[in-house]
Structure 1
Amino acid sequence: MLIILTMVLFALALSTIVMFISSLLSKKTIIDREKSSPFECGFDPKGSARLPFSLRFFLIAIIFLIFDVEITLLLPLVVVTKLTFIKTWVITGTFFLLILLAGLYHEWNQGALDWSS
């Protein structure tokens, strides 16, 4: 019991000493306050809340989320078709991919994927 208590006290003392030394050696400047402030979508949280938001950035982010979710829905189809080769799964996966590609083609035609304009 005495050995365990000694080890716990040693660990506590060592961790306290290391934290104290790191706080003494660290740089504490006003610039560090900027680093510890929240960062949301490239906006300065201390600035005006009425800044215009890039609609192009928003559309690209939404398209990314949609395709990301659809890819996570497609991954189990690969496992299912390897385990059991059922025509229903193949037809479902192909239909899902066709809808996905049609949506991508539509977004491309509308210019939503063109970042430069």
Structure 2
Amino acid sequence: MRTANITFQIPKTVMENKLAVKEELNSICEYKDQKSVSIDVYYRDSNDKVIGTQSYAITGEKYDLLMSESPDFAVGKLQNEYRESDIWYVIDLIRKEQESILEASQ
């Protein structure tokens, strides 16, 4: 081996934090036989450009809550129906649970 003085160009990936200022439901797939709803959420920056996506699965107790009649968060809601605001409520519950799990593991 010997000493060298040669320059190379090496590609590298740089991570950058971008702030999402909007989130929108991109797709909602309901599987009544499996008692689940799959949701894809788009996150947009201040230029309305999609900067990220995240998927959520609403199953079990959360599915039952979403499909329930007149829950506390949606008085007057019909059974087995939901609105966009109902989905956001359940997604927020899922996020809180995920945050609690992360905090507990640290």
Q: Tell me which interval the TM-score lies in, with the shorter structure as reference length.
A: under 0.3
Larger Rg: 1
RCO higher in structure (CA 8 A, sep ≥6): 1
**Going by fraction, where is strand more abundant, 1 or 2?**
2
**Going by fraction, where is helix more abundant, 1 or 2?**
1
TM-score of the pair, normalised by structure 1: 0.24
TM-score of the pair, normalised by structure 2: 0.26
